[in-house]
A and B are shown apart, each in its own frame.
Chain A
Amino acid sequence: MYNKKNKNLTPYAFIAPHLILFIIFFAIPAVFGIFISFTNWNIMSSPKWVGFQNYYEILLNKDSTFYMQFHNGLKNTVMFVIFTVPVSIITALSVALALNAKPKGNKFFQSLFYLPSLLSISSVILTWHFLFNRNLGPINNIFNLKINWYGQQPFTWIAIVIITVWWGIGGNMVIYQAALASIPKELYEAADLDGAGAIIKFFKITLPSMKNQLTYTVIMTTIAQFNIYGQPLMFSKGGPKGSTYVLLMYIRQLAFGSGESIAGLASAMAVMLGLCIISVSSLQFFLLRNND
């Protein structure tokens, strides 16, 4: 009797530690995060229901500073996503294709391109902040430029995109390499017999065979880039003129900055950002999956 009961409970004992942590540190914050976006919460006192007021404030009330902050932050975030995702994906794919030809030094190149993904964003920005320094940095000096990379658009965006691509192609590159290695050689041999050229083979064989991995990486990269924070914070401090001030910086500042916390309103911004992430990644999933 005891034994049987014991046996029935054993599985729950195995999942309990994670499940409890999951409820406390994931499920509750997720539900609460949506709830407080409808309140005037300031983190300290108990939240009071205000309906859609926070959403009205950030989405429609043109006289509000929060309206300006939300629109500027979201615009900058979306711009960053649009600039970075295609460049990241194409660079990672090109590198993987080149590595797949197994040239000399193959392994060395792979290690090198993967290396930056193991570095923290703060160490990466410390380094690149110096490289892009106007007077002392090697980039301006090597190319004999006088560009103010931190304070003049479009150069600040260009710098941030370069840094992000440099930092982040490693993971996708390895995934593409594995995908390329698993494409059956017979497919290419058959295409050779039909006299297909390299470009046709790439679009008719290579890309379709990597569809799952491409879908996965495009979605994951997009989600990651929507959460951009460290690069503009440490590289350009949101400047010049707020043009790289991204949504997460506003959310952080409003909820945890100096002065009274406006956590309710910041949560409304977070929910809107979350909705953008879900809609864009669902759309990508739908488009990439259904274009047979």
Chain B
Amino acid sequence: MNNIKQQKVSEVQKKQNKINTNNKKMFTATSTSKIVSFSFLFLLSVVWIIPVIWTMLTSFKLESEVQTVGFKILPVQWVIVNYVDVLTNTASGSIVRWFLNSLFISTVHTILVLIITSMSAYAYSRLKFKGKDFLFWLLMSAMMFPSVINLIPLYKIVSSFGWINNALAVIVPGLSGVFNIYLIKQFMMGIPKEYDESARVDGATEWVIYTKIILPLIRPILTVVALFSFTASWNDFLWPSIVFNDVDKMPITPALQLLQGAYDIQIAHLMAAAIISIIPTFLLYLFAQKYFLEGLSLSSGVKG
């Protein structure tokens, strides 16, 4: 009796020991990989952060200091004169104006994207109608089409609407995109049909179901779509540079190219302009980082 007990005890002990050594092994393995990973990330992050920091510091330096070879990292004298100059100079177009143009364009574009794509996604995920599957398939396959081919005809269409040098030229065409519909539809599939079906039985119209039941439930994905639409619109470069030739009407992203010509080698001024131009997207990132990062995993179809 005793013997058997002892045997069992020693077996348990052996097992315990084995687990312990395994744990130890695993522990050292993970801690080495943590150290290696940290060193790698640390070194690489220096490369990543230097451009940002250097730009910021340079924007607070005197132009004469930047132009002197044999520079220092920190400004010898901290000045805001570059910002004042860039903000008040209107000879080559006003950066304040461009900033406001962009703010208007990106905000209106984002609101319209939310309304139009969520309505469409609602129909494709919840309603029954003729040709639904075919239409959705058609939209999805359009994503494979290389949009570079559309560029020139799109210009003709926009200009025939009289939208050259008009904010509509950069607000409206992007609303034809299909990716956000797919994204929102996918999210809606995760909402139990019982929610809207019981409302339907009670006689609620589709519009009421969409606005009162579905919209509040899909708020997370709408936030993601809003953030990405806003930043994409803010950062758009090629298309606005084609449809705007009036300097005053331009959004800020293509306008920076004009500044590059205007300020030429006044580097500290250019750095100040670059910093001003990234404030909105930077702030959005600061406050809604979580949504940006989650949204990306959603859009690549990664699910847990």
Contact = CB atoms under 8 A, between A and B. Distances in A.
Interface of A: 8, 10-12, 14-15, 17-19, 21-22, 24-30, 32-34, 36, 43, 94-95, 97-99, 101-105, 109-116, 118-123, 125-131, 133, 135-136, 138, 141, 166, 171, 174-175, 177-179, 182, 212-213, 216-217, 223, 227, 229-230, 233-234, 248, 251-252, 255-256, 263, 266-267, 270-271, 273-275, 277-278, 281
Interface in B62-79: 66-67, 69-71
A28 B40 contact: no
Interface residues of B, number: 96
B38 A166 contact: no
Given A18-B181, A120-B277, A252-B242, A178 B235 contact: no
Given A21-B116, A136-B71, 6 more contacts: A18-B181, A101-B36, A119-B235, A174-B293, A178-B300, A252-B238
B128 A15 contact: no
A246 B36 CA distance: 39
A32 B153 contact: yes
23 contacts: A10-B127, A17-B120, A19-B120, A22-B178, A24-B176, A25-B175, A43-B152, A111-B289, A112-B48, A113-B48, A115-B48, A115-B285, A118-B285, A130-B55, A166-B48, A174-B293, A174-B297, A234-B257, A255-B155, A267-B149, A270-B151, A273-B148, A278-B146
B300 A34 contact: no
B54 A213 contact: no
Contacts of A274: 145-146, 148-149
Contacts of A25: 154, 157, 172-173, 175-176
Contacts of B175: 18, 21, 25
B192 interface: no
Contacts of B127: 10-11, 14
A24 B157 contact: yes
Given A17-B120, A34-B149, A270-B149, A101 B30 contact: yes
Contact of A174 (B148, B296, B304): B296
A271 B273 CA distance: 37
B45 interface: yes
Contacts of A11: 123, 127-129, 132, 206
B18 interface: no
B34 A121 contact: no
B111 to A, nearest CB: 13
B274 interface: yes
Interface in B13-66: 30, 33-38, 40-42, 44-45, 47-52, 54-55, 58, 66
Contact of B45 (A15, A113, A138, A174): A113
B301 A216 contact: yes
B269 to A, nearest CB: 10
Contacts of B139: 22
Contact of A130 (B152, B271, B296): B271
A188 B156 CA distance: 57
Contacts of A121: 235, 237, 253
B260 A126 contact: yes
Given A33-B153, A122-B257, A17 B274 contact: no
Contacts of A101: 30, 33-34, 36-37
A14 B49 CA distance: 46
Interface string B175-212: 11010010000000000000000000000011100100
Residue with the greatest number of chain A CB neighbours at <10 A, chosen from B30, B54, B122, B242: B54
Contacts of B281: 118-120
B280 to A, nearest CB: 10
A105 B267 contact: no
A166 B36 CA distance: 21
A24 B257 CA distance: 30
Nearest to A17: B116
Q: Chain A contact residues: over half helix, strand or loop, or mixed?
A: helix
A212 B120 contact: no
Contacts of A233: 257
B156 A43 contact: yes
Given A34-B149, A99-B37, A112-B49, A178 B297 contact: yes
Contacts of A27: 142
Contacts of A104: 34, 38
Contacts of A174: 293, 296-297
Nearest to A233: B257
B234 A120 contact: yes
B104 interface: no
Given A18-B117, A127-B271, A271-B149, A212 B301 contact: yes
Interface in B121-138: 122-124, 127-129, 132, 135
A251 B260 CA distance: 22
> What 10 A-B pairs come out closest when comparing CB atoms?
A274-B146, A14-B123, A11-B129, A103-B38, A178-B297, A122-B256, A29-B150, A120-B235, A98-B37, A33-B149
B288 to A, nearest CB: 11
B278 interface: yes
Nearest to B289: A111
